[in-house]
């Protein structure tokens, strides 16, 4: 049985904050229920961050805070992010945005383009002597729309932002592959991972892609 992430580490405590006294609805797991504007069932009370659910990340909470401030100021905004990047600050760093292979298939993308481009084939990583890791890209084979990016390696926490922007824009793999990246930089791994997904990376040996 898959373990619930709330069974490890942090647990929601919305049900312990006496929110019921204010009439605020809390779900069975202890998260405060909110709508797309982060408004609770009490119209003049909003909730952001960990207390209103996954992913429990600081940058997601900050985004929600700005959103709520704008809603209160009268702007018409909703939370509609396609992806929230996740980073593990280990050595090497790990970062991810968008879907995994399993998630993509579960959402109906049964035919995928998948590639990995190693940091060992990147000049900047070699000069830094930090060649462990890779950039993995997942795209829909029919549309070439980018679905997910997963990075293990140096500066993964910074590199993932390009992937987030691409996913938010609905970019295709060609958009990344044809974008000129400065040389020599770690950012080139994003461009070359996209090229590898299309089957024509120039710094790694690839088997011909199946039609």
Catalytic residues: 183
CB 136 within 8 A of CB 116: yes
Q: At what angle do helices 156-169 and 188-198 cross, to 10 degrees?
A: 50
Q: Please name which of 145, 50, 143, 150 lies closest in space to residue 98, comparing C-alpha atoms.
A: 150
CA distance 156 to 102: 22
Could you tell me the sign of the dihedral formed by the alpha carbons of 58, 64, 67, 71, in that order? negative
CB 149 within 8 A of CB 136: yes
Hey, is 87 helix, strand or coil?
Answer: strand
- DSSP H stretches of helix in the chain: 58-72, 101-106, 123-128, 156-169, 173-177, 188-198
């Amino acid at each position: 049985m898959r373990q619930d992430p709330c069974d490890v580490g942090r647990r929601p405590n919305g049900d312990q904050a006496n929110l019921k006294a204010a009439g605020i609805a809390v779900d069975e797991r202890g998260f405060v229920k909110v709508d797309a504007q982060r408004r609770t069932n009490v119209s003049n009370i909003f909730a952001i961050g960990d207390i209103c659910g996954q992913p429990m990340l600081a940058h997601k909470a900050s985004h929600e805070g700005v959103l709520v401030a704008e809603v209160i100021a009268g702007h018409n905004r909703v939370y509609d992010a396609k992806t929230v990047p996740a980073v593990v600050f280990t050595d090497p760093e790990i970062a991810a945005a968008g879907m995994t292979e399993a998630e993509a298939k579960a959402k109906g993308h049964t035919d995928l383009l998948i590639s990995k481009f190693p940091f060992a084939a990147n000049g900047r990583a070699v000069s830094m002597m930090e060649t462990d890791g890779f950039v993995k890209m997942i795209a829909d084979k029919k549309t070439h729309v980018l679905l997910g990016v997963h990075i293990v390696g140096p500066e993964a926490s910074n590199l993932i932002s390009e992937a987030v922007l691409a996913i938010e824009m609905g970019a295709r793999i060609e958009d990344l592959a044809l974008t000129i990246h400065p040389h020599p930089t770690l950012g080139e791994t994003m461009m070359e991972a996209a090229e590898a997904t299309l089957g024509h990376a120039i710094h790694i040996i690839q088997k011909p892609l199946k039609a």
